[in-house]
Amino acid sequence: GVVQAALLGAKDSVTPLISILYSTIVNVFGDFLLVKQANMGLRGAAIATLLAQWAATAALLGPARQRLVRNHSLGLWKKSKTESTDSVSGRTFLGFAAPVLTLILGKLAAFGFMTHSAAAVPGQPTPLAAHQIILSLFFFVSPFMEVISQTAQTFIPPYLAPAMDHIAKKAKSKSNYDPGQDGALQPWLNSAFSVGTSLLKLGFVMATIVATLASLIPAYFGGMLTSDSTVQEAVKPLAKYLWAGAFLTAPVAVSEGVLLARRELKYLALVYVLSTALLPPALIRVKVLGGNVEQVWACFAVFQLFRAAFFSGRIWSGSLFKSFANIFRGGDASGEAKRAGVKAS
């Protein structure tokens, strides 16, 4: 994860994608050979996951050595003789890290409560086994969208940094400065918005493909996941919720990356705190009423929809409303033109 983030920081978005591809291939074939063919069960799945991580790391090390290490050597810990003047204080770092930590804790809490509720529904151990399989598949596909989030955090700040510097300078010289009325900012802001929109479109395409392929496995090929016919039947109804959760990860991840790039950390933390506060009561309600694991995953799908709506709405809602307004204005203008043509004739 550290090497992948560093490569993205160096504007290399291809190598992390290749490493995920290697990891995916090794994991899929490893699970098939060790779990299905060799009947090694959990031990085989663990070995396949370990081999997949090694494959991903190996794919990252070569490019990282070329791009990140001084003189392409392994002198990672060699200190420079001159101290950098661009230092980051602990307070500045904490101001960024605290909201990000809230995001991480929110995700962990959501999955923890889901597993707790799935373990409490009637009919154990089948519901919990089905839940764990679907959760593993979700974790398996999530990195495909998270890479796009990291790409947004890498490529959008270069467009926003000059705008932020410009705003800071103008604010010092003019007490009544209004960035919204400053035309000099628009080229930078429009470029950042364009990059974010392109990444969102890419995320939707990627999510459609990945979510569909992943959900087809429990729906039609459950034998690839488990030899227990009861669990195979139990995972089938969860396929649609896996698709919804995985698909909605695209707008969540991309919007999250854009908002992190824009340093809207308080808004991100607020949405995560609010969504994390709302999910556990719903899951506990499922547990108390003796619901089923489908309801657990339905709650997660709504959780994802909530985050996707608030994150993407923060960025693109204004553009969407403007597009609708232009459509209606265009219709009125067209009608007026037609009426004018009739009068002229």
Alpha helices in 221-292 (DSSP H): 229-235, 239-261, 265-288
What is the Cα–Cα distance from 149 to 157, expressed in whole angstroms?
13
Of 230, 297, 227, 216, nearest in space to 45 by CA: 227
What is the Cα–Cα distance from 180 to 6, expressed in whole angstroms?
34
pLDDT in tens, the chain (345 residues): 667 666 766 667 678 778 888 888 888 888 888 887 888 877 888 888 888 888 888 888 878 777 666 555 544 444 444 444 445 555 665 666 666 677 777 778 888 889 999 998 888 889 999 999 999 899 888 888 877 887 787 778 777 777 777 777 877 877 777 776 777 777 877 888 888 888 888 889 999 999 999 999 999 988 888 888 999 999 999 999 999 999 999 898 888 888 887 878 888 888 888 888 888 899 988 888 888 999 999 999 999 999 999 998 888 886 654 544 454 455 444 444 334 343 333
242 burial level (CB within 10 Å; 0-12, 13-18, 19+): buried
Q: Could you read off the pLDDT of 172-190 as tens digits, one per residue?
A: 877 777 776 777 777 877 8
Q: 78: which 2 tokens?
A: 């060699």
The C-alpha R_g of the chain, in whole angstroms, comes to 24
Q: Is the pTM of this model over 0.85?
A: no
- Three-state DSSP class for residue 236: helix
Number of helices (H) and strands (E), helices first, in the chain? Answer: 11, 0
Q: What is the dihedral of CA 88, 91, 96, 98, to 10 degrees?
A: 140
Q: Find out whether 234 and 293 touch, Cβ atoms under 8 Å.
A: yes
CA angle 87–67–263, rounded 5-degree value: 45
What is the Cα–Cα distance from 148 to 249, expressed in whole angstroms?
11
What is the Cα–Cα distance from 225 to 35, expressed in whole angstroms?
8
Q: Find out whether 179 and 185 touch, Cβ atoms under 8 Å.
A: yes
Of 193, 192, 186, 206, nearest in space to 251 by CA: 206
Q: Which pairs with CB-CB distance under 8 Å and at least 24 residues apart come from 268-275?
A: 268/99, 268/102, 268/103, 268/311, 269/98, 269/99, 269/102, 269/103, 271/307, 271/310, 271/311, 272/102, 272/103, 272/106, 272/307, 273/102, 273/106, 275/106, 275/110, 275/303, 275/306, 275/307, 275/310
Backbone phi, psi, residue 87, to 5°: -100, 155
- Three-state DSSP class for residue 65: helix
Q: Find out whether 300 and 280 touch, Cβ atoms under 8 Å.
A: no
Of 249, 252, 255, nearest in space to 196 by CA: 255
